[in-house]
Amino acid sequence: MVNEDLWAKWWAAQSEDHRARLRNAAGQATLDASTVQFVLETNPPIGITGSKWQLNEGDFSWSMSPSLREFIQAQP
């Protein structure tokens, strides 16, 4: 269960540039490494999931958690 107060405080602490970049990331099915790093640097309460999808090292599929994606997309 997501604590809406934590999310609201996290969102309020972001600059307009960060909010724009987070909105863009929320619209992507998978995230590249630099976007993952950016999202993690904003310190969301929860937010990134990763899964290894091939046997080769470094072949990970990163995505924003559904709860983070939905929260960001719901913001005005």
| pLDDT tens digits along 25-73 | 999 988 888 888 888 888 887 766 665 545 455 566 788 888 888 889 9
pLDDT at 2: 64
Q: Which of 1-5, 7-11, 12-16, 20-24 has the lowest mean pLDDT?
A: 1-5
Q: How many whole angstroms separate alpha carbon 13 and alpha carbon 44?
A: 10
Identify which of 15, 3, 8, 1 has the alpha carbon closest to the alpha carbon of residue 72: 8
**Which residues make Cβ contacts (< 8 Å) with residue 44, sequence separation at least 6?**
10, 68
pLDDT at 58: 58
List the domain range (segments joined by +) for residue 56. 4-74
pLDDT at 1: 54
Number of domains forming the structure of the chain: 1
The whole-model pTM stands at 0.76
Q: Whole-angstrom distance between the N-terminal and C-terminal Cα of the chain?
A: 22
